[in-house]
């Protein structure tokens, strides 16, 4: 959808450099995704993968590590040859992110391939190391020629509005915007991409997608896991920065955006920015009415007892970092004026589950049951993002029998046939990076406006550090989250 010239011979990248190649992100996400793309035959023959990390290794050590990491992925005999071919692409460069000499070694390693075309630099590292890597790439000339090499930045892009603006200035000193790929893997998920088609290719749906028919929208990203070994990062970031500012705000923009004039990168992102700019600012005195935070205590998940957040390894014993956040936003434009958008995310919830739930208004007159209008079950549209990817709609039908009673039936519009396989989100996005398609990546003004939206909440919670509500691990969050609803008949939708 973007930069079609990148598909011409000689313009595809011939080197893919991973900074932090032995970290958790690379091991669990990037390497499996790259291997699956190899298995699908999506790479050019001359593409090499260069791992940049601190270990005192040589290339053979790296390929042994990669082979072990992909053991399950390559367990089928038919994939052994694919794995062997994949491993021949790897080279290892030992280096420190802050040591410019390490980057000169990287230049020497890349030199034979620099004539063939572009290089992708993937920063699978802590956000605290972003600036050092960017400046050192410039110091050895790996940002040149401008407009050629590509740099991929993982979320979070900054830790608040000011730091995001500083990071962006550093990036733009050394790279053009067209070279920068701010990645949010939720945008690569099939259901999120299919939402564009669902809305804009069906005359049945789009006329209902507005304040006249929709009562409210819920976006939930629930995680059953804890913080694993990320305390060093997470205890500073919390759920608001780690999840809501990026993943959930991106989902909100996809649900709420207007039809773009074309399926091109900037046209899509222009419409998403319009949504973020239309979100009603939250006044300092209104933060309590618009946002709830909480932290998990000990509990039970899938039959196993888990410890509280404050007992997790390397977490401060008196930490008040939020592991759950719920927030309410209003989009003050013609389509959505008055429709609340409820967003929530949390760790140690009952299951891994991401869903967009859209509740429609009640019909104007109740004809079919002798009950108050408020008690009738509303229509819902349910877009499941993970672990299942599906789209469902709940409607009323007549129950069999003489009486005119109704029941709810779920219409399943799942788009995946039994014989079809879909790309993982990272596979989709990595392929887009290689092919130069920026449609599913975040432009800086998107990131900046998302920070502007949550900045009042962030500042208020930074000062208000005396107390944080709690919720039991294995629950759907604190009872306080229910106070965000505008009416008594609005409740959190937890299940499909």
Instruction: State which CATH number among 1.20.1240.10, 3.10.20.600, 3.40.50.720, 3.40.50.1950 fits the domain covering 4-154.
Output: 3.40.50.720
pLDDT of res. 374 = 47
pLDDT per position as a tens digit, 187-245? 888 888 888 888 888 888 888 999 999 999 999 999 999 988 888 888 888 999 999 99
pLDDT of res. 7 = 40
Question: Taking all residues of the chain, what is their mean pLDDT, rounded to a whole number?
Answer: 88
pLDDT of res. 418 = 60
Q: How confident is the model at residue 8 (pLDDT cuts 50, 70, 90)?
A: very low
Average pLDDT score over residue span 388-396: 82
pLDDT exceeds 70 at position 269: yes
Residue ranges covered by each domain of the chain: 4-154, 187-422+444-484
Average pLDDT score over residue span 168-197: 89
Average pLDDT score over residue span 173-199: 88
pLDDT exceeds 50 at position 373: no
CATH architecture of 187-422+444-484: 2-Layer Sandwich (3.30)
Give 133's contacts (C-beta < 8 A, 6+ positions apart).
19, 97, 121, 123, 125
Rounded to the nearest 10 degrees, the angle between the axes of helix 444-463 and helix 249-256 is: 130
Q: Mean pLDDT check: name the lowest of 22-31, 141-150, 279-288, 441-450.
A: 141-150
User: Of 4-18, 254-268, 395-409, which one has max mean pLDDT?
Assistant: 254-268
Q: How far is CA 269 from CA 175, 351, 431, 432, 442, in A?
A: 20, 32, 19, 16, 7
pLDDT of res. 378 = 87
Residues 167 and 158: beta-carbon distance below 8 Å: yes
Q: What is the DSSP letter of 442?
A: B
Record the pTM.
Answer: 0.89
Q: Mean pLDDT check: name the lowest of 70-79, 412-421, 447-456.
A: 412-421
pLDDT exceeds 90 at position 182: yes
Average pLDDT score over residue span 22-40: 91
pLDDT of res. 324 = 97
Q: Mean pLDDT check: name the lowest of 6-10, 268-272, 314-318.
A: 6-10
Q: What are phi and psi of 236, to 5 degrees?
A: -95, -35
Pairwise CA distance, residues 23 & 61, whole Å: 15
pLDDT of res. 124 = 92
Percent with pLDDT over 70 in the chain? 92
Q: Mean pLDDT check: name the lowest of 115-119, 335-339, 414-418.
A: 414-418
Active site residue 174: no
Q: How many degrees, rounded to 5, is the angle at CA 323 between CA 336 and CA 280?
A: 20
Of residues 247, 298, 353, 396, which has the active-site annotation? 247
Q: How far is CA 98 from CA 19, 101, 179, 230, 451, in A?
A: 12, 9, 22, 22, 28
pLDDT of res. 5 = 40
Pairwise CA distance, residues 132 & 20, whole Å: 13
pLDDT exceeds 70 at position 81: yes
């Amino acid at each position: 959808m973007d930069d079609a010239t990148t598909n011409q011979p000689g313009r595809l990248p011939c080197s893919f450099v991973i900074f932090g190649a032995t970290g958790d992100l690379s091991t669990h996400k990037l390497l499996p995704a790259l291997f699956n793309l190899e298995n699908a035959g999506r790479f050019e023959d001359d593409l090499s993968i260069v791992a940049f990390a601190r270990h005192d290794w040589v290339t053979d050590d790296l390929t042994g590590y990669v082979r072990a990491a992909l053991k399950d992925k390559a367990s089928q005999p038919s994939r052994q040859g694919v794995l062997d071919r994949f491993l021949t692409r790897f080279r290892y460069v030992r280096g420190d992110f802050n040591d410019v000499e390490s980057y000169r070694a990287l230049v020497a390693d890349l030199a034979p391939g620099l004539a063939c075309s572009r290089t992708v630099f993937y920063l699978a590292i802590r956000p605290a190391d972003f600036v050092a890597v960017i400046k050192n790439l410039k110091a050895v000339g790996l940002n040149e020629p401008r407009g050629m090499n590509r740099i991929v930045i993982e979320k979070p892009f900054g830790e608040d509005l000011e730091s995001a603006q500083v990071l962006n200035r550093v990036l733009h000193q050394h790279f053009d915007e067209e070279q920068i790929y701010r990645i949010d893997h939720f945008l690569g998920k099939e259901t999120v991409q299919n939402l564009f088609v669902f809305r804009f290719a069906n005359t049945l749906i789009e006329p209902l997608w507005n304040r006249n028919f929709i009562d409210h929208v819920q976006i939930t990203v629930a995680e059953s896991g804890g913080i694993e070994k990320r305390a060093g990062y997470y205890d500073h970031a919390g759920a608001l920065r780690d999840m809501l500012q990026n993943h959930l705000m991106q989902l909100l923009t996809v649900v709420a955006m207007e039809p773009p004039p074309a399926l091109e990168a900037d046209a899509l992102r222009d419409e998403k920015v319009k949504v973020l700019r239309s979100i009603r600012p939250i006044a300092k005195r209104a933060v309590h009415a618009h946002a709830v935070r909480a932290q998990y205590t000990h509990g039970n998940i899938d039959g196993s007892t888990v410890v509280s957040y404050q007992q997790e390894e390397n977490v401060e014993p008196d930490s008040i970092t939020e592991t759950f956040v719920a927030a309410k936003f209003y989009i003050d434009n013609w389509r959505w004026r008055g429709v609340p958008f409820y967003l929530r995310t949390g760790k140690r919830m009952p299951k891994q589950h991401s869903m967009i739930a859209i509740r429609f208004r009640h019909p104007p007159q109740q004809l079919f049951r002798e009950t108050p209008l408020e008690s009738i079950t509303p229509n819902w549209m349910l877009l499941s993002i993970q672990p299942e990817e599906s789209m469902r709609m709940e409607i009323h039908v007549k129950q069999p029998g003489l009486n005119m009673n109704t029941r709810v039936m779920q219409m399943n519009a799942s788009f995946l046939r039994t014989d079809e396989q879909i790309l993982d989100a990272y596979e989709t996005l990595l392929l887009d990076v290689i092919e130069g398609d920026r449609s599913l990546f975040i432009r800086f003004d998107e990131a900046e406006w998302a920070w502007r939206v949550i900045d009042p909440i962030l500042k208020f919670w930074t000062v208000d550090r005396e107390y944080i509500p709690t919720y039991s691990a294995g629950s759907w969050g604190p009872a306080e989250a229910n106070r965000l609803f505008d009416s008594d008949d609005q409740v959190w939708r937890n299940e499909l």
